């Protein structure tokens, strides 16, 4: 197989001045890429967003500089996120506000993967436990909201769906909505339970908050339906990402703040993991039996640490 050039949609050129440290890092990276190109082993990076590039509505200091450093060096990368609270277009706008100019094709998110998978499986009718903005991704299906299901069930109606899709709706969960989703899952034939990621919690402006996984697990435990996970840490999610980059798993690095979903999930899929000490990172994470290939304080420190393992 010939060498692969990083897709144009995932690489940009920026004219900007950098200090000696960044210039040295770029020279070293160019040398590494030249060697990789000659051997057909091009490296690529998967980069989490919340907690790595930004935290809530605040940029991680130096993260945008590192992205520009990667762009200038021509190193292929893809942003991968379990965020389901907003569509990719909104994420593009958010990144632009932090000085990172990318298109939607530079981001892989679970809703788009779920819509494609359900469409290929022949699903027609969905119960959506997702934010309103995210529901637009499923416009090609007949959809019901949790409140629709509650109303129909209260009238004695039978709510039949092909899949129950669960994303991050946060404080919108209550007993009635959770129970409505459970009732749908208990109908024969059993619908799929689709999880848009299995992140346990995230770091919000007011501290840690529950994410999607606890609610998916509650529904799965009660109904006995195993979830189909279409976000991190599912192996299929990482396989799709490196397929888009055109790199082999062994040459791909996942950078994240979640040691389980980001690092552990990536390693299980054959990638290598880089853990950053920002976002949801806690000192005890490094004692959980998952060993990242590299731990750095922040994405801003990547240029000095690249390539990992170099003396």
Tens digits of per-residue pLDDT, 277-298?
Answer: 999 999 999 899 999 999 999 9
Report d(CA 254, CA 23) in Å as an integer.
24
Instruction: Sort residue 278 into left (φ over 0), alpha (ψ -120 to 50) or beta.
Output: beta
Classified as helix, coil or strand, 108 is strand
**Given this model, what pLDDT does residue 204 score?**
80
Tell which residue, 151, 143, 149, has the closest CA to residue 125.
Answer: 143
283 near 31, Cβ under 8 Å? no
**Given this model, what pLDDT does residue 1 score?**
32
* pLDDT beyond 90 at 215: yes
Which tens digits make up the pLDDT trace of 98-128? 999 999 999 999 998 899 889 989 999 999 9
**Given this model, what pLDDT does residue 203 score?**
78
Report d(CA 263, CA 248) in Å as an integer.
17
* pLDDT beyond 90 at 222: yes
What tokens does 305 get? 């640490």
Report d(CA 272, CA 274) in Å as an integer.
7
CATH 3.40.50.11540 fits 8-82+248-305, yes or no: no
CB atoms within 10 A of CB 140: 11
Report d(CA 272, CA 293) in Å as an integer.
6
What tokens does 277 get? 């000490």
Rounded to 5 degrees, φ, ψ at 239 are -60, -40
Tell which residue, 109, 76, 110, has the closest CA to residue 91.
Answer: 109
273 near 292, Cβ under 8 Å? yes
253 near 272, Cβ under 8 Å? yes
**Separation of CA 247 from chain center:** 18
pTM above 0.75, yes or no: yes
* pLDDT beyond 50 at 46: yes
107 near 77, Cβ under 8 Å? no
For the chain, the average pLDDT equals 87
Tell which residue, 255, 138, 120, has the closest CA to residue 196.
Answer: 138
Mean pLDDT of 136-164: 94
Mean pLDDT of 181-185: 97
82 near 112, Cβ under 8 Å? no
Query: Would you list the domain boundaries of the chain?
Result: 8-82+248-305, 111-229
What tokens does 37 get? 């190109």
Q: What band does 150 get if pLDDT is binned at 50, 70 and 90?
A: very high
The lowest-confidence range among 138-142, 220-224, 241-245 is: 241-245
Rounded to 5 degrees, φ, ψ at 76 are -70, 140
On the question of a common fold for 8-82+248-305 and 111-229, the answer reads yes
CATH 3.40.50.880 fits 111-229, yes or no: no
């Amino acid at each position: 197989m010939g060498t692969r050039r990083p897709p144009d949609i995932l690489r940009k050129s920026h004219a900007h001045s950098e200090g000696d440290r960044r210039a040295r890092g770029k020279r070293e990276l160019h040398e590494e890429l030249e060697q990789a190109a000659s051997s057909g082993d091009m490296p690529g990076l998967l980069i989490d967003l919340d907690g790595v590039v930004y935290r809530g509505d605040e940029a991680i200091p130096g993260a945008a500089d590192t992205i520009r450093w990667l762009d200038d060096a021509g190193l292929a990368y893809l942003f991968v996120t379990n965020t389901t609270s907003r569509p990719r277009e909104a994420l593009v706008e958010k990144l632009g506000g932090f000085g990172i100019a990318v298109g939607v094709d530079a981001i892989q998110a679970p809703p788009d993967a779920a819509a494609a998978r359900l469409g290929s499986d022949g699903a027609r009718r969905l119960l959506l436990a997702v934010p309103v903005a995210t529901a637009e991704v499923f416009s090609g299906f007949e959809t019901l909201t949790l409140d629709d299901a509650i109303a129909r069930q209260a009238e004695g109606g039978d709510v039949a769906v092909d899949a129950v899709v669960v994303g991050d709706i946060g404080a919108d969960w209550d007993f009635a909505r959770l129970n409505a989703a459970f009732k749908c899952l208990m109908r024969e034939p059993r619908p799929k339970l689709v999880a848009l990621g299995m992140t346990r919690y995230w770091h919000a402006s007011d501290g840690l908050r529950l994410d999607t996984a606890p609610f998916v697990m509650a529904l799965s435990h009660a109904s006995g339906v195993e979830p189909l996970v279409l976000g991190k840490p599912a192996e299929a999610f990482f396989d799709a990402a490196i397929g888009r980059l055109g790199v082999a798993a062994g040459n791909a690095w996942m950078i994240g703040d979640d040691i389980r979903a980001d690092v552990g999930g990536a390693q299980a899929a054959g990638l290598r993991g880089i853990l950053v000490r920002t976002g949801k990172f806690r000192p005890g994470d490094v004692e959980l039996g998952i060993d990242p290939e590299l731990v750095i304080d922040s994405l801003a420190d990547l240029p000095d640490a690249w390539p990992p393992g170099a003396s």
